[in-house]
Amino acid sequence: MASASNGRFFTIGLVASWYSSNIGVLLLNKYLLSSYGFKYPILLTMCHMTACSLLSYLAIAWMRMVPMQTGEPSFHLFGFIMCVAATAARALKSVLQGILLSSEGEKLNSMNLLLYMAPIAVVFLLSATLIMEKNVVGITIALARDDFRIVWYLLFNSALAYFVNLTNLLVTKHTSALTLQVLGNAKGAVAVVVSILIFKNPVSMTGMLGYSLTVCGVILYSEAKKRSK
């Protein structure tokens, strides 16, 4: 009974950590992209994935928080396609994460899975940044010379994105891919409310209806899950 209660509190803590870090990234992204005027979302996302790669490696190889896990050393087309698809599609990504985190054949832990996923995302985002956001590096350096706070904003935003992705994987592992999607929808509604309180954004009746339906859907899912148990 005690172990079940501890497991429940652990899961609640994971979800709370995921929510808080996720909403923090969303709000900081909004500040950088809108209020601050740093209009380079692809570079910002690439910074996120770079932080995920570096911090995952530091946590595994240097701090030894979890053991380093390897995949098959030879190239495997199916694994490559799955990894690319996981980076490209949110819903499919969640399902694949659940399989990799729980299947007997792989059973990667969350840090190692993030370590292997993030560099692939960096490669794709770097290409997109160079093509779609030309001279963004020079512009960012110029901005840093005028206001060095942008460097701290980007570093903090990237580090926070690491915790978002790590807790995302942990929530997937300890709940399910479907639960993650439902929680993600609810998180969107919560983030909007927090954003309204901070940035005073106007909300239309259509938006309010959408948020209300989202919350109702989360409640119905929770009730259905309780009944299934």
- What is the model's pTM? 0.63
Longest dimension (CA), the chain: 59
| Alpha-carbon span 222 to 47, nearest angstrom | 35
For 64-90, the pLDDT digits (tens) are 888 887 764 455 677 667 666 665 666
CB burial class (10 A; 0-12, 13-18, 19+) of residue 93?
buried
For 184-229, the pLDDT digits (tens) are 667 767 777 777 777 777 777 777 787 778 778 777 776 776 677 5
| Helix, strand counts (H, E) of the chain | 9, 0
pLDDT, mean over the chain: 79
CB within 8 Å of 152: residues ≥ 6 apart: none
Query: What is the amino acid identity at position 183?
Result: L
CB atoms within 10 A of CB 141: 11
For tokens 């903090």, name the residue. Answer: 156
Q: What Cα–Cα distance (Å) separates residue 40 from each residue in 22, 94, 133, 153?
A: 19, 26, 7, 14
Residue 169: both structure tokens together = 């994987």
Tell me the mean pLDDT in the region 45-65: 89
Domain-wise residue ranges, the chain:
2-175, 176-229
Give the pLDDT of residue 152: 93
Spell 171-180 as b/e; 16+ CB within 10 A means b. bbbbbbbebb
Give the pLDDT of residue 153: 92
Tell me the mean pLDDT in the region 107-135: 85
Collapse the DSSP code of 119 into the 3-class scheme (helix H, G, I; strand E, B; otherwise coil) and give the result. helix
Give the pLDDT of residue 97: 67
CB atoms within 10 A of CB 212: 11
Query: What is the amino acid identity at position 180?
Result: L
